[in-house]
Amino acid sequence: MTDLHTPYRRAIFSGPAVWVLHLLIPVAALWLLVARPEMDVRWQHHPAHFWLVLFTAAVSVALGVVVGDAARRRDDDRLFLIGLAFVVAAGFLGLHALATPGIILASSNTGFDVATPVGLLLASILAAVSSIEFSPAATRRLRRLRPAMWTAVAAVLTGWAALSLLEAPILARPLNAEIGQRLLVAAAFLGTALYGVSALRYYLIYRRRPAVMLISLITAFTLLAEAMFAIGYGRNWHASWWEWHVLMALAFAFVAYSAYVQYRREGSPAGLFHGVALASTVNRMRRDYADALDELARAMRQRAEFGDDGTLSNQISSIAGRFDLTEQQLDVLERAADALGRERTQTKRLGALVTVGQQASVNTDERQLLEKAMAVASETFAPLRLRLGLMTDGRLEFADGGVSLDPTEGATVVIPLDVKGHRAGQLEVTHPRRAVDDTELALLRSFASQLSIALENTRLYASMEDLFRSYLSPDVATSLIADPSQARLGGEIADVTVLMADLHGFTPFAERGEPDDVVAMLNTYYRVVVPVILEHGGTVVQFVGDAVMAIFNAPARQPDHPRRAARAALALQEAVERVRGAHPEWPRFRAGIHTGRALVGNIGSDEFRNYTAIGDTTNLAARLESAADPGQVVVSAATRGAIGDIATVEPVGPLPVKGKSEPVEAFVLRSLGS
């Protein structure tokens, strides 16, 4: 589409110098006529003067009405002042037309003769004021003054006409030639300056936000400035006098022609002068258009969902009236709203794909994954209807208990879900009113692919977790699956509580019994011991024959890890005693617990490694376990202090410990309160 400003830029602003040159031609012509009086020819033709001035007044008042209507629509003070300036100029020009002798009045008088410079001077004041960017407070004051200003204009025009027609002394007799000439020159210079300031200020506005009508106003104010200058130096009925009449006519006609061209382009007068409005009005219009765009986008989404074209038409008509939109603006907004609605829908649906891709995690259940994914998809892909079927024992089963739809009937599309090359299920898509389009189908295939990947990852996590849990503590297994980099050799210093337990008298028992019986005894014990430790949050890091080692506060952080370890040890003894009820000949467990700092991490080689805790804390726990009697739990002073008063303990007394220069204080843990 051709830029609306292009014809004017080419014709007028193709180069600033060219534009200025055109506007300086009338000034040069006036200078020549004043400097060479013999060239300032006289031509006195009353009908030509009457119709020229009357035409100019008619154009000016028409512009005043159109601009005033735009001011009312947008409640804009700048447009109000410009419209008022056109009306003031038109009123005084009409009075000046009456000064043409022999047309309506038998003879002219001073009141009608000077009406033009007076009207153009008043209009120049209004034009200069209109170029100001008003503050909100000034806007409110001016808004209150609008009725009074219209009343004042009507009163001045009516009074001027009445005084002139009644031949009042002040307006009926001719002015002294010398005084009159001085007044005209003063008015000419003042009007020229005000129109020049107006043109300059509107040019600065045009630089910030180009608009066709701004170009027209700049040109018109420049021509009116030249006309005011010509009024001061022109001679009645001579070429210099005719010049300012022609300049006035060109100024108003140029604005009118520009408005007509823009009206032909837009198909409505509603937005002709929007580009001239105050910055606050322009910003408000932009917000209105943004709101209109949002409303249209919502209306189009509703049509897409519910198929109600009648409601959409009514909403479009309502939006056009409420936001003062032309047909072309509305057409552009409709296309933009349609594009915006599609973009938002696509963005929302792409977001759903990302969400589904993020659903799979180590601890996610397959059914939960699918339920969450389908809930997200059903909402974001509406009004499409989605059904998910999964293969179970070679049969396709749907959550709603229904059967698969026939894709050859209606608008149903079937998209397979494949996991590792095998059919895992299928996604069925139906639109309630039409076929699924290509864009929707492409997104749905991506969604099905994401769902297949998420499903595959969830199943992989589950199988890996089942495998790992056979060899590792659940917390360690989960941590490694979620972040395999944690399997690297090394570790970190952390506060932990270490629980060590072994069977007292295991060696004699193993020597007396058969190997199969010994293994059966150990497996039976561990089947009850390990769940107890895990239940209390412990991490089983190793089995060494009849001994088991567990740590608390690693890898998962547990602020109450000493209490967890103590409860686990007591529960372990209770579980073992229940097992020994059927096997009283089996040896009993003894346990030791110590809390302190240790190096926690992976120890070993690249080929084989073990997650464990290394350091004095582990060694002391092992020494305390060796000092315990069968069925007892011995804790260190550090663990006793961390557990607090809820523990019932008996002092063991200072224990000599291998590797320690001084005996350590220890306690037998009897019970633990809540």
CATH number at residue 365: 3.30.450.40
pLDDT of 637 reads 94
Distances (CA, A) of 671 to 222, 301, 572, 637, 648: 102, 67, 13, 16, 5
In this prediction, residue 45 has a pLDDT band, given cuts at 50, 70 and 90, of: confident
Least reliable range by pLDDT among 82-86, 142-146, 248-252, 330-334: 330-334
543 and 594 belong to one structural domain: yes
Q: Do residue 57 and residue 157 come from a single domain?
A: yes
Task: Using pLDDT thresholds of 50, 70 and 90, give the confidence band for residue 528.
Answer: very high
Same domain (yes/no): 221, 159: yes
Q: Which of 277, 294, 324 corresponds to the end of one domain?
A: 277
CA distance 300 to 396: 37
Sign of the alpha-carbon torsion through 464, 469, 471, 472: positive
Between the two ends of the chain, the Cα-to-Cα distance in Å is 80
Largest CA distance in the chain: 150
Q: Please report, for the domain that includes residue 518, its CATH number.
A: 3.30.70.1230
Q: Which segment of 34-38, 174-178, 429-433, 616-620 scores lowest on mean pLDDT? A: 174-178
**Contacts of residue 351, Cβ cutoff 8 Å, sequence gap at least 6:** 380
Most confident of 299-308, 464-473, 576-585: 576-585
Q: Is residue 259 a part of any domain in this protein?
A: yes
DSSP labels, 315-327: HHHHHHHHTT--H
* 300-309 tens-digit pLDDT: 666 555 544 4
Averaged pLDDT for residues 603-618: 81
In a shared domain, residues 92 and 240 = yes
Q: What is the pLDDT of residue 42?
A: 84
Cα torsion 534, 539, 542, 547: sign: negative
Predicted confidence (pLDDT) at residue 51 exceeds the cutoff of 80: yes
Question: What confidence tier does 393 reach under pLDDT thresholds 50, 70, 90?
Answer: confident
Give pLDDT, residue 11. Answer: 44
31 domain-assigned: no
- Nearest to residue 213, comparing CAs of 69, 63, 358? 63
Rounded to whole angstroms, the Cα distance separating 274 from 79 reads 9
Q: Looking at the structure, do residues 419 and 555 belong to the same domain, yes or no?
A: no
Phi-psi region of 495 (alpha: psi -120 to 50; beta: other; left: phi over 0): beta
In what side-by-side order are the strands of the sheet with 412-419? 395-398, 385-392, 422-430, 412-419
Cα-based torsion angle of the residue sequence 169, 170, 175, 178 in order, rounded to the nearest 10 degrees: 140
> Are 302 and 345 contacting, i.e. CB atoms less than 8 angstroms apart?
no
For the chain, how many structural domains are there in total?
4
301 and 395 share one domain: no
* Residue 555: cis peptide before it, omega within 30 degrees of 0: yes
pLDDT, average across residues 354-365: 56
In a domain, 216, yes or no: yes
- State which of 285-299, 307-321, 509-523 shows the largest mean pLDDT: 509-523
Q: Which pLDDT belongs to residue 1?
A: 39
Q: Point out the least confidently predicted range of 191-200, 422-431, 659-668.
A: 422-431
Does position 206 have pLDDT exceeding 80, yes or no? yes
58 & 78 share domain? yes
Residue 641 confidence (pLDDT) = 94
Nearest residue to 471 via CA among 519, 543, 532: 543
CB atoms within 10 A of CB 148: 9
Beta bridge partners of 595: 497
246/436: higher pLDDT: 246
- Residue 86 near residue 123 (C-beta atoms within 8 A): yes
- At 5 the pLDDT is 46
**Per-residue pLDDT tens digits for 642-655:** 999 999 999 998 88
Say how far apart CA 357 and CA 377 lie, in whole Å.
12
Supply 44's token pair: 């006195």
- What is the domain extent for residue 395? 360-467
The reply to whether 35 falls in a domain is no
Task: Give the pLDDT of residue 312.
Answer: 54
Per-residue pLDDT tens over the stretch 531-574: 999 889 898 888 888 999 999 998 888 899 999 999 999 999 99
How far is the C-alpha of 149 from the C-alpha of 130, rounded, in Å? 14
- Cα(496)–Cα(569) distance, rounded to whole angstroms? 15
Residues 136 and 255 in one domain: yes
More confident residue, 420 or 656: 656
- Same domain, residue pair 158 and 286: no
pTM recorded for the entire structure = 0.48
In-domain check, residue 635: yes
Domain end point (choices 223, 250, 277): 277
Q: Is residue 25 part of a domain?
A: no
Same domain, 207 and 99: yes
CA distance 365 to 353: 19
CATH of the domain at 262: 1.20.1070
Coil, helix or strand at residue 571: helix
d(CA 210, CA 134) in angstroms, rounded, equals 20
How far, in Å, CA of 67 to CA of 82, rounded?
7
Task: Based on the fold, state whether residues 545 and 661 are members of the same structural domain.
Answer: yes
Last residue within a domain, chosen from 225, 246, 277: 277
* pLDDT recorded at residue 3: 46
Is the confidence at residue 672, as pLDDT, over 80?
yes
Residue 531: inside a domain: yes
Asked if residue 610 lies in contact with residue 604, where contact means CB atoms within 8 angstroms, the answer is: yes
Read off the tokens for 111: 């009141």
Residue 214 has pLDDT above 80, yes or no: yes
**pLDDT for the residue 464:** 59
Are residues 272 and 414 both part of a single domain?
no
Residue 29 domain flag: no
Find the DSSP H helices in 360-397: 366-380
